[in-house]
Amino acid sequence: MDRLTAVILAAGEAKRMRSRQPKVLHPLCGRPLIAYALRTARALADRTVVVTGPNADDVRVAAGDGATFVEQRERLGTGHALGQARAACGDGPIVVLAADMPLLSSETLERLVAHHRGAGAAATVLTAVVDRPQGYGRILRQGGRVKRIVEDRDATDDQKKITEINTSVYCFEARRLWKALAEVRPDNEQGEYYLTDVIGILAKAGSRIEAVAAPDPIEALGINDRKQLAAVAAILRRRILDRLMADGVTIVDPASTYIEDTVTIGPDTVVEPQVVIEGVTTFGTECVIGSGSHVTASRFGDRVALKPYCIINDAVVEDGATLGPFCHLRPGCHIGAKAKVGNFAELKKSRIGRGSKVPHVSYVGDTTVGEDVNIGAGTVTCNYDGVRKHETKIADGAFVGTNSSLVAPLTIGEGAYIGAGSTITQDVPPGALAVARGQQVVKEGWAAGKVKKHARPEE
């Protein structure tokens, strides 16, 4: 069987997005817009060709490996864009996709290609029947057969009443496609080479034109402006949540939960309201993600508990750990199994060992904490001297008293104790007690004397 080529048209400008960034790079549920077309194409096609505009290096980077890129230097329409891909396509069937249709499923595309091959058609168009066809090209039929497609801006009043629309997704037989494309002329309001004109040219030549209707018109939704981007994002987010719930995840309030397409969550995990989970993030089984938590690009084991309002970015949290409420893990943190990070604790580029505790109101930065360590409330690792960052190492079983300042670089040995309120500037040997604070002075009767001194004279 001839190899299938998928051509993704991604050269459009972002005029209606009001953006200097190419439209296909705008983020949608954790991925650039073009990633969805690429994923759909790669699920079916033997080769993928992406047509970009000039200066599209960022698009190439976002698309990654596995695609061939061709450039449309002048934006002269969709027909002209497809023509730039001819040398990169084989002799087998060619499926053409728009880069701004993220809801198109691979199953629908597979059905389109299968129908095209089975019918021996020159072209097969994916259509949809919608209530509001404004802005879309209309499918014109004669005797039930597709005869041509007319763009919305070029349609007559009667043609605009047609509700069967062109989705801009096609499957072509290569030889007849290129012959017909050479006959397309820019005789339209935009002065562009319309790919849609190929359908009329092929039909006029007596070639067989087929149509396959999308099972759900939502698959035909394209994105041209930020309002449409938000509308499609809402649909996609609901699909993501539905998939997670079908896989055994409890979403307490889907309406207030934002989970990106790059997130994986294990069964029997509970996601409470107002949670945001972004980036390539993984949760294991039986976790609890507390209300208001915001998680980005992190990995969690099983039975992890995030109490409400945790902010976590680029962290690893092992099985059975408990975090929060109101804790902040900045990038580079690793929390060991059954460790605890309490409320209003902030950690940065630190490793907390198994069973260790950073209970509350502490800052731990550039620090390695061993197993079964207790760090008292109000402890600060002083990791920055105004020029460079320095590391603190706290060995297994150490105890750091409340309101201590640990001035890095510093090592606290295994089983050592730090007295509360200490400022520690030198290494502490294993098993030792370090106390560094001013000597307490008690002046008996001082308070009464102060009151007498400041008392007002009797009037």
In the predicted model, what is the mean pLDDT of residues 217-231?
93
In the predicted model, what is the mean pLDDT of residues 371-392?
96
pLDDT at residue 447, rounded to an integer = 86
In the predicted model, what is the mean pLDDT of residues 384-404?
96
Q: Which of 70-79, 106-115, 253-262, 315-324 has the lowest mean pLDDT?
A: 70-79
Asked whether residue 265 falls in the same domain as residue 386, the answer is: yes
pLDDT at residue 338, rounded to an integer = 98
Q: For the segment 425-458, what is each residue's pLDDT rounded down to a tens digit?
A: 999 999 999 999 888 889 998 888 877 777 666 6
Residue 65 lies in a domain: yes
Q: Is the pLDDT of residue 247 over 90?
A: yes
Is residue 360 annotated as part of the catalytic site, yes or no?
A: yes
Per-residue DSSP letter, 384: B
Q: Is the pLDDT of residue 288 over 70?
A: yes
Asked whether residue 285 falls in the same domain as residue 170, the answer is: no
With contact defined as beta carbons under 8 Å apart, do 165 and 141 qualify? Answer: no
Task: Please give the torsion angle defined by the CA atoms of residues 263, 267, 271 and 276, in that order, rounded to the nearest 10 degrees.
Answer: 0
pLDDT at residue 456, rounded to an integer = 67
Question: What is the number of domains present in the chain?
Answer: 2
pLDDT at residue 459, rounded to an integer = 52
Residue 75 lies in a domain: yes
In the predicted model, what is the mean pLDDT of residues 123-141?
94
Asked whether residue 64 falls in the same domain as residue 164, the answer is: yes
Confidence band of 1 (pLDDT split at 50, 70, 90)? low
In the predicted model, what is the mean pLDDT of residues 28-33?
95
In the predicted model, what is the mean pLDDT of residues 278-299?
98
Residue 162 lies in a domain: yes
Confidence band of 94 (pLDDT split at 50, 70, 90)? very high
- Residue 113 sits in a domain whose CATH number is 3.90.550.10
Q: Is the pLDDT of residue 421 over 90?
A: yes
Tell me which residue of 26, 28, 25, 29 sits closest to 261, measured CA to CA. Answer: 29
- Residue 295 sits in a domain whose CATH number is 2.160.10.10
Distance CA 36, CA 42 (A): 10
Give residue 27's domain range. Answer: 5-220
Q: 300-307 long-range CB contacts below 8 Å, 24 or more apart?
A: 301/337, 302/266, 307/343
Q: Is the pLDDT of residue 112 over 90?
A: yes
Asked whether residue 348 falls in the same domain as residue 422, the answer is: yes
Q: Write out the E strands in 217-360.
A: 250-251, 258-259, 264-265, 270-271, 276-278, 282-283, 288-289, 294-296, 299-300, 305-306, 311-313, 315-317, 322-323, 328-329, 333-335, 340-341, 346-348, 351-352, 357-358
Q: For the segment 322-357, what is each residue's pLDDT rounded down to a tens digit?
A: 999 999 999 999 999 999 999 999 999 999 999 999
With contact defined as beta carbons under 8 Å apart, do 321 and 342 qualify? Answer: no
pLDDT at residue 458, rounded to an integer = 61
Asked whether residue 202 falls in the same domain as residue 262, the answer is: no
Q: Is the pLDDT of residue 318 over 70?
A: yes
Q: Check 26, 116, 360, 390 and give the catalytic one.
A: 360
